[in-house]
A and B are shown apart, each in its own frame.
Chain A
Amino acid sequence: MIPELGQLSLVLALCLATVQATLPLLGAAQGRADLMALARPAAAGQFVFVIAAFLILVQAFLVNDFSVLYVATNSNSALPVAYKVAAVWSAHEGSLLLWIAILSGWTFAVAAGSRHLPDVFASRVLGVLGIVSVGVMLFTLLTSNPFARLQPAAFEGNDLNPLLQDPALVMHPPILYAGYVGLAVPFGFAVAALLSAQLSQEWARWTRPWTIGAWIFLTIGIALGSWWAYYELGWGGWWFWDPVENASFMPWLAATALIHSLAVTERRGIFKSWTLLLAITAFSLSLLGTFLVRSGILISVHAFASDPARGLFILVLLSVISGGALILYAIRAHRMNQDGGFQPLSRESFLLLNNILLMLAAGLILIGTLYPLFVDALGMGKLSVGPPYFNLVFLLPTLPLVFLMGVGMHSFWRTMPKSVLVKRLKIPIILALLFGISFPLAVFGRATILTLVGCVAGMWVVAAAMLEPAQRLIKGDGSILKIRRSQWGMMVAHLGVGIFILGVTVTSSYSIETDQARAPGDSWELAGYQFVFRSTRDVIGPNYQAVEGEFEVRKDGRLLTVLTPQKRVYRVQQSPMTEAAIQSGLRQDIFIALGDSLGGGAWSLRVQYKPLIRFIWLGALIMALGGILAASDIRYRRQKQNQSQSSHDIDGSVAEII
């Protein structure tokens, strides 16, 4: 009975979403306040019923209701409680419901946080979000109902895929989805601006914190996924250019470009149509990602059950939503008037280059991701594009991007005198060259050209990001306290980029990855560490059995740690799983995984030394922290308090805000 209530809730939510998707838009077109007033209650009601449906599915998992097909396929009564909750979004139907729940959450947040916006505009934004909701809910109810019953009920569930029984995987999908789906908000703002055929600088100010919010979640979500892949399935790799990874990375690149382009639109009133196009592109790439993952045309861990009807439905949804927005863009975008110009040497120029390079990277990744699908669809054979392609085409645009980043940060709007720029950048250039070259040579004793370039680039971004606060701190006149929150955000986020670059460069240059055949009693040395394979023993977990190896790790004879990697066999699915053991530290990780039993007590082992690999995820988290600082800037909070302030006032204060 209760699962049927879940389905009913979802149907009611669909009805409310339909109201939200139609009447407020009609009201905005005809200027009818009564219709526009429906937008917020409909959004709130939709939110309530979607959350109810979601909680009912969670409940079905918690009470082991194996009469629900989805629960029976993805859970088991022996599964720990946290993983029962995570199992809700472990497969196709439940993750769609999560998608919907998060969309309705964002919609509700927009409804609550948009009271300072003009009614016509807010109604249009909510209307557009309603259209997206209707599409995805129809998709769920028609092709992927999570509440479908199993007759007769199963006695025991089929268990959650062991790979997904992991703390990071409890967090990864909801956070990543919050980012993916959050891009619907700037999309809604963009379409609303196109519908009203006008775009003020205030529009950019309204849109920016939402975009940054979605970007923060996307950043953390991607970092979590990479971290999980590293210790759970990657055998020590942290990024594979897997199509599904690309599917989340392309919206991230577009959202990053959008944040920067919004900065220009907010400050200078230019790049308007480009900003709109980026907002549409970013969300379209999110939808494309959903299509790629959910249609089953990809070969990946993430690709769930393939059903052609589902793929087709999402493709139609994608073309209606993105195609509709693009047609609207084609009709309306030329009406967006530009307000001012800028000199070739100015912050605007650097942000423009930033956008071009980021979108170039996204485009080249898109080609590598979609090309095999096209070839396959045309019946010209099956192929895939290897990681070296992606490594190269990602490096080509991002290398100049990174060097321009430091210059752009220290440029003025409108025009930048060359002499001032050179004077400002002298110190970071010297620091970057000094440390970027001496650090890898001093620590590792050798370096290739590419390693040096990477280290100089990372140091350059770090130094450029810290220059302003460091100078003010040295001055000691308290001027460091005058730095605005949004400026801190910009510097901190870029600092994160620098740390990320250092991590990637050092890890990919100096990692030592070995596969070895070893038996208990063996000892060997790797990267200055001594390893001793002590023993193996059997271990019994809550829902698995395992063989556990015990390894001593010593440095200069001193015992550093004992690592205990496991080879697990999960009881229900009888599938083996490798649990790597990692001694992690800021400076390096030591990674041991048990491979296969080779007979005679010997095992194949993967033993790795990974310097600075933590900098990769640390950098991503610092980027996200920068986003939080930027989005919480006082000017975004102030606009809610002074809702009636005229746009002239806001324009007048623009010059002083960086």
Chain B
Amino acid sequence: MTPRRQQRMVLIAIVFSGVAVSAGLALKAFQENLLFFFSPTQVEAGEAPDSRNFRLGGMVVPGSITRDTGSMTINFVVTDYAHSIPVQYTGVLPDLFGEGQGVVVRGQLGETNNFFAEEVLAKHDENYMPPEVAEALAQSEKAREL
């Protein structure tokens, strides 16, 4: 092999391994950052993962919001009218979070099927229902009719 060729081979090897490492990292990041969505019914059925973040959606049960005076921690219950999951969250809530509203929370499941939220998403329009929530509600509606 001439030195020139050798140089080229090294260059190609570097580029190739760079691409391989990048592709690996991208795939790994993709895998790790897939956030699945589950309804309270699915969580009750044990479909949701135990030690991994996912998103839970449903309606905030009217009258279920409680907070100790002066505390940033809030408790509420999310329901799809078939099953309900209690949720705990510490932090600033989005503007349109409220009782009887659709909500999506991101976080992890605790030991007794209670949910610890890291993020609360409520939508920016009072009439707006997150599509996942709408579908989850429709599903549980169907299940009850059967």
Give the docked Cα–Cα distance between A368 and B35 (Å): 12
* Contact assessment for A574 and B91 in the assembled complex, using a CB-CB cutoff below 8 Å: no
A604 touches B95 (CB 8 A): no
A383 touching B29 by the CB < 8 A rule? no
Residues A386 and B37 in contact in the complex (CB < 8 Å), given A574-B126, A595-B93, A598-B71: no
Q: Which residues of chain B from 15 to 51 have a CB within 8 Å of any chain A CB? A: 18, 22, 25-26, 29-30, 32-37
Q: Does A233 contact B (CB under 8 A)?
A: yes
B67 pairs with A392, CB closer than 8 A: no
Closest residue of chain B to A596 (Cβ to Cβ) is B93
Q: What residues on B are CB-neighbors of A338 within 8 Å?
A: none
CB contact between B33 and one of A385, A574, A606 (< 8 Å): that residue:
A385
Q: How many Å lie between the Cα of A387 and that of B96 in the bound state?
A: 23
Known contacts A393-B29, A577-B95, A604-B91; A598 and B67 CB within 8 A of each other: yes
For chain A residues 55-114, which have a beta carbon within 8 Å of chain B? Answer: none
Q: Say if the beta carbon of A481 comes within 8 Å of chain B.
A: no
From 91 to 146 in chain B, residues with beta carbon under 8 angstroms from any chain A beta carbon are 91-93, 95-96, 123-126, 130-132, 135
Interface check A584, CB cutoff 8 A: no
By the criterion CB–CB under 8 Å, are B92 and A598 in contact?
A: no
Report the minimum CB–CB distance from B32 to chain A (whole Å): 7
Candidates A161, A388, A393, A574; contact of B125 at CB < 8 Å: A161
The majority secondary structure among interface residues of chain A is mixed
Asked if A37 is at the interface of the complex by the 8 Å CB criterion, the answer is no
Provide the residues of chain A in CB contact with B67, threshold 8 Å: 598-599
Task: Name B30's closest neighbour in chain A (CB-CB).
Answer: A389
B130 and A600 within 8 A (CB): no
Question: Which residues 126-161 of A sit at the B interface, judged by CB distance below 8 A?
Answer: 161
In the complex, number of A-B residue pairs with CB atoms less than 8 Å apart: 100
| A576 contact set on B, CB distance < 8 A | 95-96
Residues of A within 8 A of B3 (CB): none
CB nearest to B67 among chain A residues:
A598
Task: Give the CA-CA distance A385 to B130 in the complex, in Å.
Answer: 16
Known: A299-B132, A389-B30. A381 touches B126 (CB 8 A): no
A629 to chain B, nearest CB (A): 34
Residues of A within 8 Å of B123, CB to CB, are 299
Q: Say whether A575 faces chain B, with CB atoms less than 8 Å apart.
A: yes
Query: Which of A297, A364, A381 has a CB less than 8 Å from the CB of B36?
Result: A381
- Per-residue CB proximity of B72-96 to A under 8 Å, as 1/0? 1000000000000000001111011
Q: A593 contacts which of B26, B91, B92, B132 (Cβ < 8 Å)? A: B92
Q: Does chain A have a CB within 8 A of B2? A: no
A384 and B37 contact, CB distance less than 8 A? yes
The answer to whether B92 touches A602 (Cβ under 8 A) is no
B63 at the interface (CB under 8 A from A): no
B131 contact set on A, CB distance < 8 A: 297, 299, 306
Cα(A578)–Cα(B122), bound, Å? 14
Chain A, Cβ-Cβ closest to B121:
A299
- The answer to whether A383 and B126 have CB atoms under 8 Å apart is no
- Assembly CA distance A221 to B98 (angstroms): 33
Task: Report the bound CA distance from A397 to B22 in whole Å.
Answer: 9
Inside 8 A of B90's CB, which chain A residues have their CB?
515
Q: How far is the CB of B47 from chain A (nearest CB, A)?
A: 9
Q: Given A383-B35, A385-B34, A600-B70, A573–B29 Cβ distance below 8 Å?
A: no
A430 interface residue (CB < 8 Å to B): no
Residue of A235, A299, A387, A575 touching B92 (CB-CB under 8 A):
A235
Cα distance A82–B123 in the bound complex, in angstroms:
25
Cross-chain contact B29 with A392 (CB below 8 angstroms): yes
Q: Which residues of A contact B135 (CB under 8 A)?
A: 382
C-alpha spacing A596/B97, complex, angstroms? 10
Q: Verify B70–A519 contact, CB threshold 8 A.
A: yes
18 new A-B contacts, CB < 8 A, other than A371-B30, A389-B32, A595-B93, are: A235-B92, A368-B30, A381-B36, A386-B33, A386-B35, A392-B26, A393-B30, A396-B25, A515-B91, A515-B92, A517-B72, A575-B95, A576-B96, A595-B92, A599-B70, A600-B69, A604-B91, A604-B92
Q: Which residues of A contact B (CB under 8 A)?
A: 161, 163, 233, 235, 297, 299, 301, 306, 364, 367-368, 371, 381-389, 392-393, 396-397, 400, 515-517, 519, 573-578, 593, 595-596, 598-600, 602, 604-606
The list of the 6 closest CB pairs from A to B, nearest first, reads A595-B92, A386-B33, A382-B37, A389-B33, A599-B69, A392-B29
Can you report 17 A-B residue pairs in the complex whose CB atoms are below 8 A from each other? A364-B26, A382-B36, A382-B132, A388-B33, A389-B26, A389-B30, A389-B32, A392-B25, A515-B90, A573-B126, A576-B95, A593-B92, A598-B67, A598-B70, A600-B69, A604-B92, A605-B92
